[in-house]
Chain A
Amino acid sequence: MSGEPNEMTGTAEPDWLQDFVREQAKTRRRSRVEVWFGRVVGVCVVLAVWQALSSFNIVQPILISSPYLVGKDIGGWFGQATLWTDLRTTLTEMLLGLLFGTVVGVVSGIIVGVRPRLAKAVQPLVIAVHSVPVVVLVPLFLLWFGFGLFPKILIVSLSVFFVMFFNTLTGTSEVNRLLISSMTIMGCGTLGIVRQVYIPSVVAWVIIAMRSAIAYALVGAVVSEFVASNSGLGYEMNNAALFLDVPRVFSVLIVLTVLGALLSGIVDVAERRLLRWR
């Protein structure tokens, strides 16, 4: 698509066309440079305003910290063991919760979705239960299952479950009924239909749901660590806030954001690989 002469047909293109194509490519390149320049300026402006607010004492520096202090804190934190133990705790909660929530959500979504009447019966109940934010249940789970990893994994699983269940249910109800009828006519049993029709068509929905599931998992893990824990990124943050260690609060936020971005990056890669046939 660059301004090369046409190699495919081998025919010589007229000079004015080559010039035109070359000119267009140049403009496009220039505008891309401009966009990136603008972005760098945007980030710099935000950081500069933040630094200025704190350096010139416009807002109390102890409350908002500053980019410099946050950078220094996060650099120091990388050398300490606490970052890695916290990261391991939160990541364990998230990944195990994602695993259980996805498996249970997808399986029950297919079981319910295969029977349209049951799906109709269950839907309003699940919506009612879902309207209670799962993170609100954190204290209850902590009371039942103690302060260890288990209640946190359960919270994460539950938030992930709802996302997965809804998406799988939608996915199964969008399956072409004609396909199922013809499979039945050809003598395929329910299990065969599930394996050959439902599961392949649900995969796309599950992968798309995975992105929001990751966000829910992150919030579930962090909030349950706020309420009661002795390790993890949420614990670290709540502790830092208690001791007015604002740079550390921002450092934890940055680590959480990067963690979320990395996980959804993995989902993006998986999506591109698994849904390539589309």
Chain B
Amino acid sequence: MSSAGEESVITILSGTEPDEPAWLKEFAARELRARRRDHAMVWVERIVIVVVVLAIWQCLESFNVISAATISDPVDVVRYFFGTLLEQSGFYTDLWLTFQEMILGLIFGSAAGAVVGVALGLLPRVASAFQPVLVGLNAVPKIALAPLAVVWLGLGIQSKVLIAALGVFFVVFFNVIGGLADRDPVLTQNVRMLGLSRLQTLAAVLLPSIGVWVVTALKVAISLALIGAIVGEYVGANAGLGYEINNAINSVQVTRMVALLAVVAIIGCLLYGVIALAEKQILRWR
């Protein structure tokens, strides 16, 4: 509907169809204006919401409704972010460490999930035997394993990678096994009939489609990896963004903490954007 309106306006502008009645031109132009106004209003509303929230926050602090020590204010946070945080070399070390924990967790978790998923997907008998174990493990809140991971692997990067990987593993595993159960049996039978061996079928038909399932799973998994890394650092660590956030709170540096939380938010948004983009690229053929 929208493209139809757009087209008629284009023909008006380019003047290729001079015999369009005036009332139709008028109507199309009015439609387009209304749509533009609607679109603009959406943006105005967005900006108004953000500004109102920030203004309330600033006022609460400026008029001493709540003490500055406990809520900080947007101006302070922005000033701290650009003035102090980005100047500290320690910040980049922490950022890099947390990022590594996340990415390694994502890689190990999704690789293990994909391998175990394919193995069990191809061995339905074994899969059915281990199903209650896996469903039970999946019901365990993975983040609750954080203290145990710290006991096992210490305060370093390994325990955080394990926590992040565990969350990722189950999401990818269940997606892959669901995808394999969903595969088109006719396609595999045809390929087998054409003379490919079991392994060749796996390589030619099944493995390429696994990429799709893993990418779909990653959309959920990526936020689990971020949560795993940060919460792992809350529970036990000696560096990283989560460690710094926890430290800032213990020394009542609210401005610093809010600035660090903003960094986490930005990482979350960026990664989500990257995965959404990758998904669009990979799934374009659909």
* A residues neighboring B (CB under 8 Å): 35, 38-39, 41-43, 45-46, 63-64, 117-118, 120-122, 124-125, 127-129, 131-133, 135-140, 142-144, 215, 218-219, 222-223, 226-227, 234, 237-238, 240-242, 244, 246, 249, 252-253, 256-257, 260-261
Question: Given A131-B223, A246-B151, is A140 in contact with B141 using a C-beta cutoff of 8 Å?
Answer: no
Which residues of A sit under 8 angstroms from B152, Cβ to Cβ? 63-64
Question: Given A41-B129, A118-B45, is A143 in contact with B268 using a C-beta cutoff of 8 Å?
Answer: no
Q: Is B131 an interface residue (CB 8 A)?
A: yes
Indicate if the CB atoms of A136 and B227 lie closer than 8 Å. yes
Q: Closest A residue to B272 by CB, please name it.
A: A131
Which residues of B sit under 8 angstroms from A46, Cβ to Cβ? 130, 133
Indicate which residue in A43, A45, A133 contacts B223 across the interface (CB closer than 8 Å).
A133
Which residues of B sit under 8 angstroms from A117, Cβ to Cβ? 38, 41-42, 45
- Alpha-carbon separation in the docked complex, A257 to B41 (Å): 47
Q: Closest A residue to B246 by CB, please name it.
A: A139
- Alpha-carbon separation in the docked complex, A26 to B150 (Å): 51
- Alpha-carbon separation in the docked complex, A239 to B249 (Å): 21
How does the 8 Å CB contact mask read for B132-160 relative to A, with 1 for contact and 0 for none?
11001001110111111011100000000
Indicate if the CB atoms of B130 and A223 lie closer than 8 Å. no
Chain A interface mostly helix, strand, loop or mixed? helix
Which residues of A sit under 8 angstroms from B143, Cβ to Cβ? 135, 219, 222-223
Which residues of B sit under 8 angstroms from A241, Cβ to Cβ? 147-148, 150-151
Indicate which residue in B46, B132, B223 contacts A42 across the interface (CB closer than 8 Å).
B132
Counting chain B residues whose Cβ lies within 8 A of the other chain, the interface size class is: 35 or more
Indicate if the CB atoms of A257 and B139 lie closer than 8 Å. yes
Indicate which residue in B71, B128, B139 contacts A39 across the interface (CB closer than 8 Å).
B128
Which residues of B sit under 8 angstroms from A142, Cβ to Cβ? 249
Indicate if the CB atoms of B131 and A39 lie closer than 8 Å. yes
Most buried by B among A125, A133, A138: A133
Indicate if the CB atoms of A121 and B147 lie closer than 8 Å. no
Q: What 4 A-B pairs are tightest by C-beta distance, nearest first?
A: A241-B147, A42-B129, A121-B45, A131-B268
